[in-house]
Amino acid sequence: MRTTFRTRLLVSYVLLIVVPLVTAGIIFYNKSLEVVVGQAQQNVQSIVVKNNEIIDTKLGIVDRNSQALFVDRQLFELFNTLDTSDEAKLIAADRIVGSALRSYFAQIEDVYAYQLWTSYFTYGQTLPQGKPQDSDIYHEAQEAGGKMVWYPTYDFADMFGQAYLDDSRLDFQYLYSATRVVDFSYLSNSSLERLGPDVERPVLAVSFKADSLTKLFEQSIPANSRYMVIDQSNVIVAGSDTEAISTRYEGEWTRELHEEGSGTRRMTLDGEAVIICFDRSKVTGWLSIVITPESVLAQELVPVIRTSTVLLSLVMGAVALALAYFISGKITNPIKRLLGAMRSVGEGDFHTQLDVRSSDEFGLLIQRFNRMNDRIRLLVTENYESRLKEQEAEIRALNMQMNPHFLYNTLNVMNWTAIENGQKELSKMLVCLSHMLQYTTRKEWGSVRLAEELEWMKSYFYIMSARFEDKFTVHYDIDPELYDCKLPRLLFQPFVENAILHGFVHLETGGLIYIRARKEGDDCLFEVEDNGKGMRPEAVQAILEKESASIGINNTIARIRLAYGQRYGVDIISGPGEGTRIVITLPHETN
């Protein structure tokens, strides 16, 4: 497609302005997105910290109330004097203990159960625990020696060995607990009274449902985010994946989070870019982690940023285009005037002169054009006179040459003589020869239509068929739309002659020649194929490398490459006993 200089100039200006503009827009978009994501990241981290503060506030009350339980005088006197062998007294004590525990823990939100465990009795609320003294929770509390132990979420049936509850949909299937050994004491008259050395110190167990943490996070974190609360051993206390609760998380990346305690981090998990916000509880030591895809953090602001960036780019691009159009006009208008004058000169008006309207480079160019035009006018006059003299010399030379018309008249006389003597075959051969001579003796030697070339080939085939007594037949397969296609004159003759003289040398009859033409994209493919003896690969290579003795073939290949370039040419497919197929590739031209 041909484009004007002004169009190319406009495109160059637009590119020079738009490319930096687009680059700046991309940088602005990325920086804005980075700021938005960073701000959203801080907001999520604030949510995580705030959730931990809420959790610590609730659980801290349990911790403080459990410490107050240590100095409860009523419970001190009860356990210090309790006869553990009297079942009636144990039941009465359970009512007192239950009332005391309710006063400490019943008003605390999210507390599900509160109990005192001993080896001989379980005080407080009744749950199907069997013997809680055999559980890991009880043993860890005993090993802690009075320190608060926060036991992560566990399966109730598994923890207390109640297999019959596995298939039940328990309201308290997953619990986490705060436990500690309670060594009751009492301050009396400035002296500290302690439980007797033979009195068993009970274990306080305050239990919470795991979904108390789930509700807190699900109501506060961004949509499409996931979370989990893990203890120091990576046991999942609560999380988005409810099936993973009470199992151990295997991700190695949490190790660094445990070391840092609180903060944010960007990484790729499962092929997705995410932002991880985490914070450690000051009460439990558990780590709260929220995992948010980066695409979610700014999903509402990204369309706004994108739209504003595109609109700004379009406005600035329009301004750039208007400016480029104005500047290009200042440059191309003098060139248009100059082109118009050159067109007039090309049509023979050598008196054309242009007004010089500026003193810049274009003004200088117009001055030089005016001078050049004056000089051309003088040269044309001189050349015209010279050409007159050359024509006179050419006429004299032509008069000395044999007039081809005499040759055609002579062949015509011979034709009529053959007709009068009844020699019809000879007459047709003379007519074909006359047509062939007229085709090959044209003054201009340019491209011809495919239809003309095929007519000449039919005459050639008739003479050669008569010469070789019908040794071969010819078949045509031509795409109708290619009859007006232009191609070099005598394109097929060298290859056809090679097939007849060499390919059919051992045949008495049955020789076949196929001439085909088809269009393939913007190219035309012409084929000349025979069923002759074929050629060895070295013979094919010699022809293509212009080392063969066939001057006609070498000349045809050279003419094609000179006229159309190295992209076009001739391919030869042949083998001994397999015939030969010539494929000629030319551009599709009709002018």
Residues in contact with 6: Cβ distance below 8 Å, sequence separation at least 6, in sequence order:
328, 329, 331, 332
- Domain holding 575, by residue range, is 450-587
Mean pLDDT of the chain: 81
What pLDDT shows up at residue 3? 64
Q: Residue 530 CB: number of other CB atoms within 10 A?
A: 25
pTM above 0.95, yes or no: no
What average pLDDT score do residues 511-532 get? 92
Question: Residue 278 pairs with which residues in a beta bridge?
Answer: 263, 289
- Residue 560 within any structural domain of the chain: yes
What average pLDDT score do residues 46-57 get? 88
What average pLDDT score do residues 294-315 get? 69
- Residue 575 within any structural domain of the chain: yes
The per-residue pLDDT for range 251-263, each reduced to its tens digit, is 888 888 898 888 8
Distance, CA of 122 to CA of 143 (rounded, Å): 19
Residue 510: pLDDT over 80: yes
Last residue of a domain, one of 272, 297, 322: 297
What average pLDDT score do residues 184-211 get? 84
Question: Residue 312 pairs with which residues in a beta bridge?
Answer: none
Last residue of a domain, one of 243, 276, 297: 297
Residues in contact with 372: Cβ distance below 8 Å, sequence separation at least 6, in sequence order:
none
What pLDDT shows up at residue 401? 41
Distance, CA of 497 to CA of 491 (rounded, Å): 11
Residue 148: pLDDT over 50: yes
- Residue 569 within any structural domain of the chain: yes
Q: What is the CATH number of the domain that holds 454?
A: 3.30.565.10
For helices 73-81 and 87-105, the axis angle rounded to 10 degrees is 160
Residues in the chain: 591
Of 424-428, 446-450, 553-557, 582-586, the range with the highest mean pLDDT is 582-586
Neighbour-count burial of 255, counting CB atoms closer than 10 A to its CB (0-12 exposed, 13-18 middle, 19+ buried):
exposed
- Residue 60 within any structural domain of the chain: no
- Residue 511 within any structural domain of the chain: yes
In the chain, what percentage of residues exceed pLDDT 70? 82
Q: In 3-state terms, what secondary structure has residue 190?
A: coil
Provide the number of structural domains found in the chain: 2
- Residue 193 within any structural domain of the chain: no
Of 182-196, 286-300, 496-510, the range with the highest mean pLDDT is 496-510
Which position has the higher pLDDT, 42 or 24?
A: 42
What pLDDT shows up at residue 229? 92
Q: What is the CATH number of the domain that holds 264?
A: 3.30.450.20
Q: Please compute, for residue 463, the number of CA atoms within 13 A of its CA located in the half-sphere on the CB side.
A: 17
Last residue of a domain, one of 245, 265, 297: 297
- Residue 427 within any structural domain of the chain: no
- Residue 141 within any structural domain of the chain: no
